[in-house]
A and B are shown apart, each in its own frame.
Chain A
Amino acid sequence: MIETAAAGSAPADAPVLVLVDHHDAGVRAPVLELLTVARGLGVVHAVWFGDGVEGALEQLGAYGVATVHQVTVGDGTAPLPPSAAEALAEVLVASGATTVLVSSTFENKEVAARLALVADAGLVVDASGVEREADGRVVTVQQAFASTWTVRAEVRAGRAVVALKANAAPAEPVEAPRTPHVLRHEVTLASDHGVRVVERTPRAASDRPELGEAQVVVVGGRGTEGDFSVVEELADALGGAVGATRVATDEGWIGHEAQIGQTGVTISPRLYIGAGVSGAVHHRGGMQASGTIVAVNNDPEAPIFEIADLGIVGDLFTVLPQATAEIRRLAAER
């Protein structure tokens, strides 16, 4: 257990730690949103696990990062959540930060929880917004019950760990980019927490944006009867990702990683288009926070029409290709 910070005692200049998710191609998109939000909370310190930070410094500086904590845990491989949390707790203490932001993936939520446990911090996951009040308290916004309720909560502890959903805020670079200062931390863990990775297979890279991060998602459901071609074509015309309902993934029409819903990927893109999606409650729980919802279904009674901004009763195999062709034609004109 690390020393407890008193409630509301955060100095205004206390750093905000942002965990940087990265892969071979660099910083993941939601991190830039986190950095943008973090600038409203304090001086931004980024935490980078592993090697390769040099190639990202310019981008991190462009988003206002003052300091980068480059952390090597054990042999340098990507740590599992218990180890990552332990390492992050060390950085938290070393930096004097009182607030930590991570993007709300399953792994990061576990990191956040275990970090908050040892740091006596308040924890909010799947937040859609976070602010610091004038008196220093951290206040968050979340969507609850399949996004039918909005909840504002305050952190009562002296430290706050917040997992922010992708697309919670637009990513904006700063006007005057900085050159981040790099601090290196070598963390030796007392144990491996009794678990090891036997095998890890990164998901094959797709030309389309990542589902959880995409601004536009086109989703196919039972109504596609397994033919996702028109869904994919519309997604590509819009530069979007392709998602699916539980029925579609269970049928094997598309991989389980494409499943949107409470137990799959939760999305909140600017634009959601559901094709042949009925809108079962489990699915709605994963997409109801979307900006604009468009639904195409041949059943006028489909529940998704109750939440669709634009509902089209029609055959997706004629409506989607027509829309795709029109969107491509308009794009060519521009």
Chain B
Amino acid sequence: MKIVVCVKHVPDLQAERRFTDDGRVDRGQGDGTLNELDENAVEAAVALVEAHGGEVVVLTMGPEDAEDAVRRGLQMGADTAVHVLDAAIEGSDAFGTAEVLAAAVRAIGAEGPVDLVVTGMASLDGLMSVVPSLLSAHLGLPQATLAAELTVDPEARTVRVRRELDHATEVLEASLPAVVSVTDQANEPRYPSFKGIMAARKKPVVTWTLADLGVDPSDVGEAGARTRVLEATPRPPREDRVLITDDGDAGLRLAAYLVENRLV
């Protein structure tokens, strides 16, 4: 089985995250990390290959720092990595992102058919959760997203996911090849072992440009974005905050606060 895992390098959640003056996510803080939810995707892929055999290719797009994200994937057990690196990518929206990733998945597939594309449920910077679906549309493959449980039947060539939606629990079955996204319920990502970290140093990271993939630069990046940020402003801190210590009447004061603020 050949599995491609799409990962993203994002600003560290614990650091102060901000927008640049021209309305982009500031990626220049130097404290980026592999999107935490993508660790679940790498784990799912590596576990499937451990069970059924095959190989895992970890794929990312983004500036030079983004290589850290695929390196982490390699440390966790992916076999090879692809980094799409091109100045024209900067400022891509979800559509540009999906187009580039789809082109890269096709290029990877040219070297041997891809059975499964796995992603995390969201990137913790944008939190749109739409790239897996767009990727599936671009590739013309079935989508089975938000898997809390994921099983593959290599004989039947199917993938089954159980997912918890807002109003229901569903089990979906898709034919392979397919695009799946996994949630943070799907597994417990392994911590790279010393051996894994050492082995990752010898694993190849291939760098591709948009030209290598045949993607028109005007389709992606700032040029191709269908939306534009007009203004990004830090939210003012909440005013008039009150902190009290319970002296025996805090419950009454809570009720009074709700009444006073017309919340009951």
Contact = CB atoms under 8 A, between A and B. Distances in A.
A153 B178 contact: no
A81 B144 CA distance: 10
Contacts of B94: 113, 123
Interface residues of A, number: 90
A113 B99 CA distance: 13
Q: Which of A120, A149, A300, A307 has the most CB of B within 10 A?
A: A149
Contacts of B253: 312
Contact of B137 (A106, A114, A145): A114
Given A201-B169, A263-B183, A309-B238, A256 B227 contact: no
B227 A194 contact: no
Given A154-B227, A323-B252, A311 B172 contact: no
A330 B184 contact: no
Interface stretch (A170-178, A220-228, A314-322): A314-322
Contacts of B238: 293, 307, 309
Contact of B250 (A139, A144, A147, A322): A322
Contact of B130 (A105, A123, A300, A321): A123
B155 interface: no
Given A202-B167, A281-B13, A325 B263 contact: no
A143 B226 contact: no
A89 to B, nearest CB: 11
A51 to B, nearest CB: 18
B243 A313 contact: yes
B37 to A, nearest CB: 7
A117 B242 contact: no
A195 B173 contact: yes
Interface size class of B (residues with CB under 8 A): 35 or more
Given A117-B134, A151-B231, A155-B226, A294 B254 contact: yes
A152 B230 contact: yes
Nearest to A305: B243
B226 A123 contact: yes
Contacts of B230: 139, 152-154
B243 A311 contact: yes
Interface in B160-203: 160, 164-175, 178, 183-185
Interface stretch (B16-24, B57-65, B83-91): B16-24
A279 interface: no
Interface in B4-52: 13-14, 17-19, 23, 37
A107 B254 contact: no
B206 interface: no
Contacts of A271: 258, 263
Contacts of B240: 309
Contacts of B144: 195
Interface stretch (B69-77, B108-116, B119-127): B119-127
A139 to B, nearest CB: 7
Contacts of A322: 249-252, 254-255
10 contacts: A110-B145, A123-B94, A126-B127, A145-B125, A153-B230, A198-B171, A281-B14, A296-B254, A312-B243, A322-B251
What 4 pairs across the A-B complex have the smallest Cβ distances? Answer: A322-B251, A314-B246, A194-B142, A113-B130
Given A155-B227, A194-B174, A314-B245, 6 more contacts: A110-B145, A114-B133, A126-B127, A153-B228, A309-B241, A312-B253
